[in-house]
Amino acid sequence: MEEAPGEFTQDGTVDLKGNPILRSKRGGWTACSFVVVYEVFERMAYFGISSNLVLYLTNKLHQGTVASANNVTNWVGTVWLTPILGAYVADAHLGRYWTFLIASAIYLSGMCLLTVTVSIPALRAPPCHEVNLADCKHASRLQLAVFYTALYILAIGTGGTKPNISTIGADQFDDFEPKEKTQKLSFFNWWTFSIFFGTLFANTFLVYIQDNVGWSLGYGLPTCGLAISILIFLAGTPFYRHRVPTGSPFTRMSRVIVAAIRKSRIPVPNDPKELYELDAEEYAQNGKYRIDATPSLRFLNKAAVKTGSNDPWMLSSVTQVEETKQMIRMLPVLIATIVPSTMVAQVNTLFVKQGTTLNRALNSFQIPPASLTAFVTLSMLISVVIYDRIFVRIMSKWTKNPRGITLLQRMGMGFVFHILVMVTASLTEMRRLSVAKDHGLVENGGRVPLSILTLLPQFVLMGIADAFLAVAQIEFFYDQAPESMKSLGTSYSTTSLGIGNFFSSFLLSTVSDITERKYHKGWILNNLNDSHLDYYYAFFAVLNLVNLVFFVVVCRFYVYRAEVSDSMEVLKKKQEMLSLTNPNQGRNNEIS
């Protein structure tokens, strides 16, 4: 008995063999459950390494404040930049599923090597308990080489997993089916919830193990967690929907730009129908999307002007032109998110280093400094639930937008919270330095008699900021990317984090060098009691304020991508009808 055509997915998704698939058999929340659970374990693995890395570099390899912080941010920056390569391989050659599996094997091998590295005493510097790390024997080149080789193998592996796993999850919902479109609106909230749930475990249990039991077990457990996560993902294989690779997005965009430049003197016809475009049937047969011409970035429309040549470097279809336009339109937003990404880099570096200078005793329990990052996770988890279940429902009644507010508005609120984070961090550091001075602890770098919980406000505010910015950032770049470039679009958010971490390294080195030469004593020294992190954080607050102004300007000129289907309009009308016919039912069925 044949299935009705409407029961097949309409967005071009197929099974691993390339066959059309029934909506009832694959995809939806059933498939997403494997992806979300995978992410819990994978985040546990990644943050089990990154959260406490700055202290391993300090305590075991004897690196100073600036060196250890920069080595962490350089590595994290690489972790977040390699997804560009992973997105390219997935979109152009192997597809998201196979790219993800190969990258996972590389990722796991890096984790295994790292666990072996921290477990062998010969691969660490000799123990040292000097207050001034300059008096300690530093790690040898061989020890550093082995350790960083393991770290960067891990970074290469994450390059293939990060841009594809969230995209695989989002691909399980059909944009052409209103019910699945509704579910997709909440996917990124719960996706981020899973990320931070795994992070919470890493920042509490694993950090405690590393500080109090040993680094071998502390790194071995997240390695096992990663292996488990890969098995969980594989278990969901029979339920996944897949998209067929559509060729290199970089090549398609390059052809559009080159064709437009080569035909720069040719006028664009006033009627968009005169531009080159493929038949709608051809797009439908290949499971692709046709996009109409838009007036923005009009220069690129020249690439679709017919000149008699069918050379792909001289002629592009309107759809290819519009795809390129959309990726270019998102670049200013990407640039605006770099500064907040730089602020995030401080959490696992300078924020944690601050914690080492304070009283960590809570009755008889010693709080690991890196465990404070758990409060970023907790506040973020609580904020996401409140946002998804309360804020969206209230705002959607007022704005008539199923998301409550636009993605850019949500990001803007995150920008404001980042300013508050740095203002709070600066004021808290001023207090810490004042107490250190009052107790004569400036020169000897002794532990300041102030509870480590004094730092909680800046960590909590960072979690709230992430609930607005981090979630919206991932969803924005996925949602606004053309259908054939979703992996590349998702990599925009990771690119922002990567550049932000490298920018953090640049700022830390530059500010440290300039202030040391100008004031004969830098703002960031190995002895934080003799430093001026309060000035540094105040500088960040001003930088965030300037960046917020830039973001507001970007938002005024941004043009949202047109929906590939009318599902969003269907959802809005459904909301309005429910509210008119049955207010109580409308409240129970609102889109979250």
Tens-of-pLDDT digits for all 592 residues of the chain? 344 445 877 767 887 877 888 777 787 888 888 888 888 888 888 988 988 898 888 888 888 888 889 999 999 999 989 988 888 888 888 888 999 999 999 999 999 999 999 898 888 777 776 656 666 777 788 888 999 999 999 999 998 998 888 888 888 887 777 777 777 767 766 777 788 788 888 888 898 898 888 889 999 999 998 999 899 999 999 988 888 887 778 888 999 999 999 999 999 888 888 888 887 776 665 556 778 888 888 899 999 998 888 888 999 999 899 999 999 999 999 999 999 999 999 998 899 999 989 998 888 888 888 889 889 888 988 898 898 888 888 888 888 777 788 889 999 999 999 999 999 999 999 999 999 999 888 888 788 999 999 999 999 999 999 999 988 898 898 888 887 787 778 778 888 999 999 999 999 999 998 998 877 678 988 888 888 999 999 999 999 999 999 999 999 988 877 654 444 444 455 445 445 444 443 333 333 2
Instruction: Say how far apart CA 368 and CA 366 lie, in whole Å.
Output: 6
Do 254 and 224 reside in the same domain of the chain? no
Do 501 and 441 reside in the same domain of the chain? yes
Locate all alpha helices (DSSP H) within 387-455, ordered by sequence: 392-399, 407-438
Are residues 207 and 515 in contact, defined by beta-carbon separation less than 8 angstroms? Answer: no
Do 420 and 471 reside in the same domain of the chain? yes
Do 543 and 433 reside in the same domain of the chain? yes
Instruction: Say how far apart CA 301 and CA 281 lie, in whole Å.
Output: 22
Q: What is the pLDDT of residues 514-571, one digit of tens each?
A: 998 877 678 988 888 888 999 999 999 999 999 999 999 999 988 877 654 444 444 4
- pLDDT number for residue 288: 66
Helix/strand/coil (H, E, C) string of 218-257?
Answer: HHHHHHHHHHHHHHHHHHCHHHCCECCCCCCHHHHHHHHH
Do 376 and 438 reside in the same domain of the chain? yes
Do 386 and 334 reside in the same domain of the chain? yes
Helices 456-480 and 178-201 meet at what angle, rounded to 10? Answer: 150
Do 236 and 273 reside in the same domain of the chain? no
Are residues 353 and 370 in contact, defined by beta-carbon separation less than 8 angstroms? Answer: no
Do 531 and 565 reside in the same domain of the chain? yes
Four-residue CA torsion sign, 207, 212, 215, 220: negative
Bridge partners, residue 22, by sequence: 8
- Structural domain count, the chain: 3
Domain boundary among 216, 245, 274: 245
Instruction: Say how far apart CA 11 and CA 288 lie, in whole Å.
Output: 8
Instruction: Say how far apart CA 391 and CA 413 lie, in whole Å.
Output: 13
Bridge partners, residue 451, by sequence: 359
Are residues 497 and 343 in contact, defined by beta-carbon separation less than 8 angstroms? Answer: no
| The residue type at 469 | L
Do 213 and 342 reside in the same domain of the chain? no
Do 202 and 238 reside in the same domain of the chain? yes
Task: Give the pair of three-digit tokens for residue 462.
Answer: 């960072």
The answer to the question of residue 209 being in a domain is yes
Pairing label, strands 358-359, 361-362: unpaired
The answer to the question of residue 588 being in a domain is no
Q: What is the pLDDT of residues 156-191, one digit of tens each?
A: 999 899 888 888 888 888 777 777 777 776 776 677
Q: Which domain holds residue 61?
A: 8-245
Secondary structure (3-state) at 492:
helix
Q: 448 — phi, psi (to 5°)?
A: -80, 130
Residues in the chain: 592
- pLDDT number for residue 135: 67
Instruction: Say how far apart CA 414 and CA 292 lie, in whole Å.
Output: 33
Are residues 347 and 459 in contact, defined by beta-carbon separation less than 8 angstroms? Answer: yes
- CATH assignment at residue 122: 1.20.1250.20
Per the listing, tokens 């001003």 go with 542
The answer to the question of residue 379 being in a domain is yes
Task: Give the pair of three-digit tokens for residue 569.
Answer: 């309009």
Q: 489 — phi, psi (to 5°)?
A: -60, -45
Are residues 491 and 80 in contact, defined by beta-carbon separation less than 8 angstroms? Answer: no
- pLDDT number for residue 576: 54
The C-alpha angle with vertex 192 and arms to 414 and 13, in degrees rounded to 5, equals 120
Do 302 and 342 reside in the same domain of the chain? no
Locate all alpha helices (DSSP H) within 5-140, ordered by sequence: 28-50, 53-59, 65-81, 83-89, 95-119
The answer to the question of residue 591 being in a domain is no
Q: What is the pLDDT of residues 431-471, one digit of tens each?
A: 999 999 998 888 887 889 999 999 999 999 999 999 999 88
The answer to the question of residue 587 being in a domain is no
| Neighbour count for residue 531 (Cβ, 10 Å) | 25
Domain boundary among 208, 229, 245: 245
Are residues 565 and 175 in contact, defined by beta-carbon separation less than 8 angstroms? Answer: yes
The answer to the question of residue 589 being in a domain is no
| The residue type at 502 | F
Instruction: Say how far apart CA 204 and CA 198 lie, in whole Å.
Output: 10
- pLDDT number for residue 107: 95
DSSP string across 332-353 = HHHHHTHHHHHHHTTTTTHHHH
- pLDDT number for residue 354: 92
Per-residue CA distances from 184 to 323, 388, 472, 542 (Å): 22, 13, 13, 37
Q: What residues contact 122, with CB distance under 8 A and at least 6 apart?
A: 143
| The residue type at 234 | L
The C-alpha angle with vertex 450 and arms to 447 and 451, in degrees rounded to 5, equals 105
Domain boundary among 191, 223, 245: 245
- pLDDT number for residue 287: 56
Secondary structure (3-state) at 296:
coil
Are residues 241 and 26 in contact, defined by beta-carbon separation less than 8 angstroms? Answer: yes
Do 94 and 157 reside in the same domain of the chain? yes
Q: Is 493 exposed, middle or buried (0-12, 13-18, 19+ CB in 10 A)?
A: buried
